[in-house]
Amino acid sequence: MKAMLAGQDAQTHLYCCGPGPMLNAFEAACEAHGYPNVHIERFAADPSTESVQEGEYVVQLSRTGSLVKVPSGKSLLDALLEAGLDVEHSCREGVCGSCETAVLEGCPDHRDSVLSNSERASNKTMMVCVSGCKGSRLVLDL
């Protein structure tokens, strides 16, 4: 895999879909080459990621200024739905991308299998079904 991917332009977007071990090898090879624009599609959640985090945090909704508390052990998506928001979602496993939400402030704890490493590092969006917060507060474009 690493040899096959050698020599790509650093700005090339690389895509891969298939079984988990192959996706892991693809990601490792791309990381070894330093390629920032890597996109994979999983059909099941990566078993190495926990989808619910420990520790409470608060989310501010930028369109209304409302605050939503996310208790320890609850997903951000469930907290938003219980607060009455109509957040688009489907898989609830961080693999489909339908719940992608823009992040305006704060540092998400990315646990999805959708975003590339460079997209995660930018912290501009997050999958609210599985991802959480590394601090105590997020501001989302909701």
Q: Where along the sequence are the contacts to ligand FES (CB under 6 A)?
A: 89-92, 94-99, 112, 114, 127, 129
When the beta carbons of 30 and 42 are compared against ligand FES, the nearer one is 42
CB of 111 to ligand FES, least distance (A): 10
CB of 82 to ligand FES, least distance (A): 16
**What amino acid occupies position 8?**
Q
When the beta carbons of 38 and 115 are compared against ligand FES, the nearer one is 115
Neighbours of 70 (CB within 10 A): 24
Long-range contacts of 25-31 (CB under 8 A, 24+ apart): 25/1, 26/1, 28/1, 28/2, 29/1, 29/2, 29/4, 29/5, 30/5, 31/117
When the beta carbons of 9 and 86 are compared against ligand FES, the nearer one is 86
CB of 128 to ligand FES, least distance (A): 7
Contact between residue 105 and residue 137 where contact means Cβ atoms under 8 Å apart:
yes
